[in-house]
């Protein structure tokens, strides 16, 4: 499969690397890592085994890549304004666009530009960080829940899932993409938000009783908001306990929003906080803790 990676951060580099290693024709749209990757290749330090790709197809412009079978979007959501510029040159009649971005609203923006039938969404449970240019550190997880924006009877979604599985990535097709997105927010909202505010990793929040309880309370707010949506029902409260327990194993993991704040990059505030808050408000579901975190993150981003 001919695949373009648009948004070659920790997520895009990792998935692109394993897809290339398994035999796919992968093209990376690069910025800061361009010189390093095109001269020295791409190195992945992974819990599943380290590997190095010496020959990597890296480009500065999508027009140099041309039409592909699959566009994998790993952009930070604050860059969604560049969708048309970055993706249009890659699109042919049968091209599909898969967004693995955080939060809500990304599929809708892509569908408005390129058509509902071309859009797929994926919820990636991946712990990875970038190292020096041309290096990515895969710390744990990696599984993907894959769904169609416009449910159809075709086989393309299962073909893409099979492509990931052949690359060693656990990938399951789900019928309810919106529910999968909200379930990811149950983790993303408390941990991205609180870690970015406190400048502390996941284990620090869970080792302190008060912040661990706060994490659990925020998760309950997100679950209540999710279950109030028309197409999302019956996310159990037990998911919060499961996520808190599994997060204990992450150690000093720094979520993406904490890293972005430490490196003084923009934060993905609207997709992770703003859109869920607006959807909750439409259903008259209060999210006071989430609203407070959103307000504080907007304040610190002004620094």
Paired tokens of 301: 């981003």
* Pairing of β 2-6 and β 51-53: unpaired
Q: Examine the residue annotation and report whether 242 is marked as an active-site residue of this protein.
A: no
Q: Which residues, 6+ apart, have CB-to-CB distance to 13 below 8 Å?
A: 5, 28, 33, 42, 44, 130, 136
Q: Angle at Cα 123 formed by Cα 112 and Cα 100, nearest 5°?
A: 55
**Cα distances (Å, whole numbers) of residue 165 to 2, 138, 243:** 16, 17, 24
In whole angstroms, what separates CA 147 from the centre of its chain? 14
Q: Environment class of residue 120 by beta-carbon count within 10 Å: exposed (0-12), middle (13-18) or buried (19+)?
A: buried
Output the DSSP codes for 159-222: HHHHHHHHTT--EEE-S-HHHHHHHHHHHHHHHHHHHHHHT--HHHHHHSHHHHHHHHHHHHHH
Closest CA to 21 of 6, 172, 46, 7: 46
CA separation for the pair 194, 219 (Å, rounded): 12
Q: Environment class of residue 31 by beta-carbon count within 10 Å: exposed (0-12), middle (13-18) or buried (19+)?
A: exposed
User: Of residues 57, 76, 184, 254, which has the active-site annotation?
Assistant: 184
Tokens 């969604």 sit at which residue? 80
Known catalytic residues are 184
């Amino acid at each position: 499969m001919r695949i373009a990676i648009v948004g070659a951060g920790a997520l895009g580099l990792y998935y692109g690397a394993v897809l290339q290693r398994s035999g796919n024709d992968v093209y990376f749209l690069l910025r800061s890592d361009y010189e390093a990757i095109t001269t020295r290749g791409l190195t992945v330090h992974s819990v599943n085994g380290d590997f190095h790709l010496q020959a990597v197809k890296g480009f500065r412009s999508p027009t140099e890549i041309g039409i592909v079978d699959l566009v994998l979007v790993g952009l930070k959501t604050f860059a969604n304004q560049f969708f048309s510029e970055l993706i249009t040159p890659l699109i042919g009649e049968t091209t599909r666009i898969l967004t693995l971005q955080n939060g809500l609203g990304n599929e809708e923006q892509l569908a408005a530009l390129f058509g509902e039938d071309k859009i797929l969404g994926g919820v990636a449970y991946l712990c990875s960080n970038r190292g020096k240019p041309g290096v990515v550190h895969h710390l744990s997880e990696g599984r993907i829940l894959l769904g169609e924006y416009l449910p159809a009877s075709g086989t393309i979604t299962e073909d893409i899932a099979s492509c990931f599985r052949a690359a060693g990535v656990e990938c399951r097709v789900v019928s309810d993409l919106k529910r999968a997105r909200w379930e990811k927010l149950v983790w993303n909202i408390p941990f991205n938000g609180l870690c970015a505010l406190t400048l502390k990793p996941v284990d620090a929040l869970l080792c302190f009783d008060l912040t661990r309880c706060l994490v659990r309370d925020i998760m309950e707010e997100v679950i209540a908001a999710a279950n109030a949506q028309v197409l999302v029902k019956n996310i159990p409260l037990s998911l919060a306990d499961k996520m808190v327990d599994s997060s204990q194993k992450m150690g000093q993991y720094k979520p993406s929003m904490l890293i972005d704040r430490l490196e003084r990059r923009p934060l993905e505030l609207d997709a992770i906080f703003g859109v869920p808050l607006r959807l909750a408000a439409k259903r008259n579901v209060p999210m006071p803790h989430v609203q407070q975190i959103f307000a504080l993150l907007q304040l610190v981003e002004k620094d």
